[in-house]
Amino acid sequence: MVRKGTKPYCILHRKCPHCHEGEFMVTRDPYDLSRAGDLLDGCSVCHRKFETEPGFYYGGMYVSYASAVALGVVIYVATGTIAPSTTETTRLWWVLGGLVALTPVLYAWSKIIWACLFIDYKGVDPLPGEDPKWVKR
């Protein structure tokens, strides 16, 4: 079981990287394409901002790329293992279909993974001496 206060908890539950209680994204559904990948300005529970600096989430593209490559390899190997008589073209079509179908999920997860890599758990209450630029109030 993953405990609150750990990075895997933040990632798996897609919660605020600061307090692990508030929501991180505008919608929990990655297939709501009109708001896919939209983040809240800050946490509704601890009132801390999610963006440490302008362009912070551009780094999530690296996570998304690595996740897409890993997913493509898994689909390719799984297709070859489950149906060894398939052609290379068929396997590549399966990879392409899987990547297209899961792109919104990879996009949403890449942002929370990137945030959890660089933002540490602090709890709900402001820490003594915490930089006020983080707090949204």
Across 7-13, average pLDDT: 90
Kindly report the backbone phi and psi dihedral angles of residue 125, in degrees, each rounded to the nearest multiple of 5, phi listed first.
-75, 145
Q: Indicate the pLDDT class of residue 135, thresholds 50, 70 and 90.
A: low
Q: Is residue 101 in a domain?
A: yes
pLDDT in tens, 20-76: 999 999 988 889 888 877 888 888 888 888 888 888 889 999 999 999 999 999 999
Q: Is residue 84 in a domain?
A: yes
Residue span of the structural domain in which 56 resides? 7-118
Number of domains in the chain: 1
Distance between CA 56 and CA 110 in Å, rounded? 12
Distance between CA 73 and CA 127 in Å, rounded? 43
Q: Is residue 94 in a domain?
A: yes
pLDDT in tens, 74-123: 999 999 999 999 999 999 999 999 999 999 999 989 999 999 999 888 88
Q: Indicate the pLDDT class of residue 131, thresholds 50, 70 and 90.
A: low
pTM above 0.85, yes or no: no
Q: Is residue 12 in a domain?
A: yes
pLDDT at residue 134 tops 70: no
What would you report as the CA-atom Rg of the chain, rounded to the nearest whole angstrom? 18
CA distances from 92 to 4, 44, 79 (A): 39, 43, 9
Q: Is residue 125 in a domain?
A: no
Q: Is residue 74 in a domain?
A: yes
Q: Is residue 75 in a domain?
A: yes
DSSP structural state of residue 118: H
Q: Is residue 64 in a domain?
A: yes
- Predicted confidence at residue 97, as pLDDT, reads 97
Instruction: Please list, residue by residue across 75-98, b when 16 or more beta carbons sit within 10 angstroms of its beta carbon and e when fewer do.
Output: bbeebeeeeeeeeeeebeebbeeb
